[in-house]
Amino acid sequence: MSQKLNLVDADTLLSTPMEKTQIIEQDSAKTKSSMRTLPLVGSFREYFLQVKEAQELNKKACGNCYNYEYDGYVFVDELGERMKPDYLTSQFPAFIQRHGLRKMRFHDLCHSCASLLLANGVPLKQIQEWLGHSDFSTTANIYAHLDYSSKLSSAQAMVSGCRCPRPGISKANGAT
């Protein structure tokens, strides 16, 4: 049986000019394309099973103190409280520093993902669906310049489809 993960952008973080943050909760996606199902492969499947197991242990250990309001959500803390939408973004710099990685924003992982998929021959339409872009042009405009292999194959097609004259030989010089 194939395992799947349904992704929904369930929280939106809004900042006002007064620098106060307001969290708007919703159990639906911002756009239809944001709601997508992706295959759960290899170590990701194992990781999420471990998360679920840890949550079950936390429920037993915390008893009535555990917040069941967000039961079934992946990103809750040990007490079942929903993590803030900016948690990953805010914690990411410390994570990459601890692991000796070069400085980057959390969102740069989306670009890295798309670049790796493209470099491995995944069509832009499939990358659009994986990333949850609502419009193909968004994906194409951001990542099309990275598709060097398709440019190379286009150039090869041009070479094999054209009969270019050899340098120095022309009909005027008696070539047939």
Residue 98's pLDDT is what?
96
- Distance between CA 63 and CA 46 in Å, rounded? 26
Beta strands in 16-172 (DSSP E): 21-25, 36-39
pLDDT tier at 100, thresholds 50, 70, 90: very high
Quote the crossing angle between the two packed helices 108-119 and 136-143, to the nearest 10°: 80
pLDDT band, residue 113 (cuts 50/70/90):
confident
Please state, in angstroms and rounded to a whole number, the distance separating the CA atoms of residues 55 and 76.
8
Closest-CA residue to 139 (of 162, 113, 163): 113
pLDDT tens for 59-94 read 999 999 999 999 988 889 999 998 888 888 899 999
- 8 A C-beta contact, residue 162 and residue 173: no
Strand, coil or helix: 75: coil
pLDDT tens-place string over residues 158-175:
777 776 666 665 555 555
Is the alpha carbon torsion for 106, 107, 111, 113 positive or negative?
positive
Beta bridge partners of 36: 7
What is this structure's pTM? 0.60
The b/e string for 104-136 (b: 16+ C-beta within 10 A; e otherwise) is eeeeeeeeeebeebbeeeeebeebbebbbbeee
Q: Tell me the per-residue pLDDT of 9-45, one tens digit each, with 9 for 90 and over.
A: 444 443 445 556 666 666 666 677 677 777 878 888 8
